[in-house]
Amino acid sequence: MSTPRLASLVFFLLIVPSSLAEERPNILWIISEDHGPHLGCYGDDYATTPHIDAFAKKALRYTHASSNAPVCAVARTTFISGMYAPSTGGQHMRDLVPAPSGVQFFPAYLQDAGYYTTNNGKEHYNLIDVRQGWDESSSEAHWQNRPDGKPFFAIFNYRNSHESQIRNENPNPHHDPALAPIPPYHPDTPEVLKDWAKYYDRLTDIDDILQDRLDELETAGVAEDTIVVFFADHGSGMPRSKRYPGWSGLSVPVIVYVPEKFKRLAPADYRAGAKSDRLISFVDLAPSMLSIAGIRPPEYYHGAAFMGSFQKPNPTYSFGYRGRMDERLDFCRTLMDGRFLYIRNYYTNLPHGQIVGFQQLTPTTSIWYQQFKDGLLNDVQSQFWKPHPHEELFDLWNDPHETRNLATNPKFRRDLERLRKTLDRQMESINDLGIIPEPILRQIALEGKSPRDELADLFGGTPIGELSPLSWVSKPNWENEEWKEALQSAQAIRRYWTTIWLSSKGGEPYAEAENAILRALKDEEPIVAVAAAECIGMNTSNEANRKRSMDTLVELSKYPENNIILAIHAMNALEHIQDLGHKLPSAASKLISEHETIPPWAKNYLPRLVQRFR
């Protein structure tokens, strides 16, 4: 495994000597938030995006581009570090973990190579204690402030298309709600049609903004000296796109323009106005930008440069991931090969459509959920709100909206097994820390340590299915009794995932294990106690045992007595038990008091959860 520290120490050896004698291009990124390829140039007839469409006619448009993560902070952590976020421990929404030693953000490499680097707008990275490499990062940052003669790398980020903007009335609407295209998983209601129309209105706003940025280049006389990259930070802000680990959450537009004088740095398949089916994802952006500048990407990078001096062949697969989203925990991994998309879900008692407070503010989300509760939806529309299965397999060629799960279809068994095994290898190769319960990672971060550094030898060549009892994921009919040994394992990870498995399995396995799980209420690792308490609360027929489990969860939900991530997990467990119709202890309604030490990034999470108990 490559070591970031060593890669950083030899940075100056990464510069290609001949590149210093050649003129280097400026690089401009224009990032818009929360939208998929719902643009005219991608074949969407409802979209009104004439400037983006004109830009695409002189650029290269990628049709299989992935944000790796379906939410902002995790996607940005990936593109800024050049590493898959789960390999750093930064895979959860708005988590803050120390960066691995030796890692620096890719603008720092550009800065060392003589670039003037600016970021106008959002940072929102999950990694801290790291050299970011900005000459300026603020709402005033602009490439026009660079010293004479310096090439620039500049980011402009725009929230105009953000999820939150869909809820605002648009004083200048462009799209008729009656004509709005809605996916088959959304109900056809006036609220949903209106939200989709407002979403497309926001894309028209982005269209105007992009042209403003391009006009600045022309006015300054640097348009033909500047490589321009336009992309969105993840899928649509509409529900079952943002936060969803499937293609509607990961698919993004990426359009790259390379001026004639720098065609030597263009992607191998570059042609003006063309499209590329190459699989690219956000992890490829950092090596590509360094490659443009003549810098050999560090060995610790996970991505493959698709342009510049150090281009690599087209990857075979695109990797995606979902962890905790705001106040809701989850652990999903995705693999896409250009046609088939495979999702593995580790918490099989949870739906993709968990009740995330911020997402519920969108009218489509609330009306969709209400109709589900009222039994008014068809099967396709209901799936989002039902517990997700262990595995999902979608044929994007024939089912672009991901509505037909083929994982149990014998015709696709070979594709399922191929993707299943490839995902195992992918997770092992990057040391995917998603397998570690987040409260454990959080405790390492609170001690000022990098989870990746502390857990660098986590796998050590051991297959992921042996590290923890997750064989039930790749072998759905797993019925051996390995779980009995695993409940007593010295390794907390094994104890945790075994308990999670028993929680979803229920029935005879749970009944046989109940005494052992009761003992786990006092486990030395608190998150194992949370899993045990939830398992009992959801499965026991003994009310005294259920009360013990819920009392344990109330104690572990208290903050600041416990770290905030542990409290969030415990409160989710209480809510899962409540959702089954069980009455919670009266103490559950008094879990939180006003406390100034709640971290700003999490200030709404506990109140949102507590509200359910009052």
User: What are the catalytic residues?
Assistant: 72
Q: Which residues, at least 6 apart from 552, have a Cβ–Cβ distance to it below 8 Å? A: 521, 529, 530, 532, 533
- 3-class state of residue 292 by DSSP: helix
Residue 277 burial (CB < 10 Å; 0-12/13-18/19+)?
exposed
Residue 20 burial (CB < 10 Å; 0-12/13-18/19+)?
exposed
Q: Which residues, at least 6 apart from 130, have a Cβ–Cβ distance to it below 8 Å? A: 98, 99, 103, 104, 105
Q: Which residues, at least 6 apart from 71, have a Cβ–Cβ distance to it below 8 Å? A: 93, 234, 242, 243, 322, 325
- Spatial contact of 132 and 478, defined as CB atoms under 8 Å apart: no
Token pair listed for 531: 């899993």
Q: What is the DSSP letter of 578?
A: H
- Can you give 294-363 as a three-state secondary structure string? CECCCCCCCCCCCCCCCCCCCCCCEEEEECCECCECCCEEEEECCCEEEEEECCCCCECCCCCHHHHCCH
Alpha-carbon dihedral sign for residues 334, 237, 84, 332: negative
Q: Is the bond preceding 560 in cis, omega lying within 30 degrees of 0?
A: yes
CA angle 8, 452, 302 (to 5 degrees): 60
Tell me which H or E stretch contains 98.
strand 97-98
Q: What are residue 153's phi and psi, to 5 degrees?
A: -120, 120
Q: Which residues, at least 6 apart from 129, have a Cβ–Cβ distance to it below 8 Å? A: 98, 99, 448
- In the numeric block, the tokens 């490659």 are attached to 291
CA distance 329 to 603: 16
